[in-house]
Amino acid sequence: MATDVTVPTLGESITEATLGQWLKKPGDPVKADEPIASLETDKVAVEVPSPVAGTMGEPVVAEGDTVQVGALIARIEAGSGAASAQPQAAAKAPEVAATPVNPQGAGENIELRDAAEASQDSSLTLSPAVRRLVLEHGLDPSRIKGTGKDGRLTKDDVLAAAQNAPSAPAKAGAQTSAQDWVPASAGTQERKEERVRMTRLRQTIAKRLKEAQNTAALLTTFNDLDMSAVMEARAKYKDLFEKKHQIRLGFMGFFVKAAALAARDVPSVNAYIEGDEIVYHDYLDVSVAVSAPNGLVVPVIRNADKMSFAEIEKTIADFGRRAKDGTLSMDDMKGGTFTISNGGVFGSLLSTPIINPPQSAVLGMHRIEERPVVRNGEIVVRPMMYLALSYDHRLVDGREAVTFLVRMKEALEDPTRLLIDL
């Protein structure tokens, strides 16, 4: 007897998703409530649990297919799955044996096939993107430590393993033998292209960013910030802070508190346009851009203006972990009145970030770099950071944007202002 597995309710106003990855193969044993598939929605990845214990049946839809809420995607058969897995493997064996080998890519085919077999032997469940990287670099996934949820491999894990892997003479020899098949008239190595379907999340990101460009009157203003005081305060109190709150003291807490202070003086930065009205907020919900395996996600720190440094840092750390594991929920993404994006962690010196509609402003943080500056008539070296504020000029005037950045600069260069609300 088989039990149907259908697409669960995905959240308000969301009616469809993309089947991003099967987490179980046909014949695999499945426990009740164990995830068997991952769905990609416009905002987050949602895992589909098995309603009963049994054996994974043949999927009804393929990875990359669009499915509606309530649609049938798989069936769970009764039984442990050990017996059914062997006949399926035997049935697939002739297909592998009958696969033709292209002599022009003989070396490459052997290498990719070895990597694929290693992947199967390791009993690992790999996403299409991770599987492609494993094949490209000729790695054994069973020897790579996964940092994703339940120990799954992520793209970062594979890239790190590829970077640390020693060069293999055998691989070079395989490439040479493959190149021997290329006619001398070709002159250069074969050039390849690959077409990969955009994930639903990436499609949504592209759509929203283009919508922001088409709708808002975007403008960016800049200022530089001396990080000496913040760095000194952090170095002085980070050990005590971590001991008391069990969380590291980072820079983001300072910037969120400074943004809340500046937004009180310039409320239009924390507002948005709705029709022919301006909606002002007496609270600050900060959207924080977080890098996830499938793209950029923007969870929201709610009532950030009323939070302590420890509460802000704990919330951000929790978002980072759940973004990496793919367990952020729809509610984590909803709302947001202002966005902070930290490109500095990737080494960015300067940027013009794009607002997150319907918000009217986004703050861009950048890398800290020692630069010569003039202080009291003398040239000194200071740890400097460029701040960028992109805003909707329909709502925020240039004077207000500059004032907002100046207020942030004043608060961060003299963190005492954050304590006495100046």
pLDDT, one tens digit per residue, over 29-65 is 888 888 888 887 766 677 888 888 888 888 888 887 8
Residues 227 and 340 in one domain: yes
Do 289 and 381 sit in the same domain of this protein?
yes
Q: Catalytic residue among 114, 224, 318, 397, which?
A: 397
Co-location of 231 and 269 in the same domain: yes
Mean pLDDT of all residues in 360-371: 95
Give the confidence band of 211 by pLDDT, cuts at 50, 70, 90: confident
pLDDT at 149: 65
What is the torsional sign of CA 341, 342, 348, 349? positive
142 and 6 part of one domain: no
CATH of the domain at 327: 3.30.559.10
Greater model confidence, 141 or 352: 352
Residue 97 lies in a domain: no
Considering 142-146, 290-294, 404-408, the range whose residues carry the highest mean pLDDT is: 404-408
Residue 408: per-residue pLDDT? 95
Domain presence at residue 196: no
Do residue 214 and residue 172 come from a single domain?
no
- Regarding whether 251 and 127 lie in a shared domain, the answer is no
**Same domain for 205 and 281?**
yes
Q: What is the average per-residue pLDDT within 392-396?
A: 95
Poorest-confidence range of 121-125, 141-145, 352-356? 121-125
Q: Per the domain annotation, does 309 fall within a domain?
A: yes
Q: Give the count of alpha carbons within 13 A of 131, CB side only.
A: 16
Check whether residue 352 and residue 257 sit in a common domain.
yes
Tokens 């070296």 sit on residue = 381
Q: Classify burial at 61, counting beta carbons within 10 Å of its beta carbon; exposed 0-12, middle 13-18, buried 19 or more.
A: middle
Read off the DSSP letter of residue 182: S
The pLDDT tens digits for 217-253 are 999 999 999 999 999 999 999 999 999 999 999 999 9
Task: For residue 164, tell me if it sits in a domain.
Answer: yes
The residue out of 124, 153, 185 marking a domain boundary is 185
Strands laid side by side in the 66-68 sheet: 45-49, 35-40, 16-22, 66-68
In this structure, the strands spanning 369-375 and 66-68 are unpaired
Domain end residue (candidates: 185, 212, 245): 185
366 is catalytic: no
The answer to whether 137 is a known catalytic residue is: no
Residues 25 and 151 in one domain: no
CATH of the domain at 64: 2.40.50.100
Please, what is the average pLDDT of the chain?
80
Q: Of 77, 102, 130, which closes a domain?
A: 77
Structural domain tally of the chain?
3
Q: Are residues 176 and 292 in the same domain?
A: no
Examine residue 91 and state whether it is found in any structural domain, yes or no: no
Looking at this protein, which amino acid is placed at residue 100? P
| Pair 385, 272 in one domain | yes
Q: Is residue 86 part of a domain?
A: no
Q: Flag whether the pTM goes above 0.85.
A: no
Instruction: Give pLDDT, residue 340.
Output: 94
Determine, yes or no, domain membership for 92. no
Closest CA to 230 of 35, 13, 417, 34: 417
CATH number at residue 156: 4.10.320.10
Band (374; pLDDT cuts 50, 70, 90): very high
Same domain, 220 and 298: yes
Residue 129's pLDDT is 65
Work out the average pLDDT over 104-118.
42
Domain that residue 358 falls in: 201-420
395 pLDDT tier (thresholds 50, 70, 90):
very high
Give a yes or no: residue 190 inside a domain: no
Q: Which of 33, 65, 331, 393 is catalytic?
A: 393
176 against 128, higher pLDDT: 128
Per-residue pLDDT at 233:
92
pLDDT per position as a tens digit, 132-159: 677 777 787 777 888 776 677 777 788 8
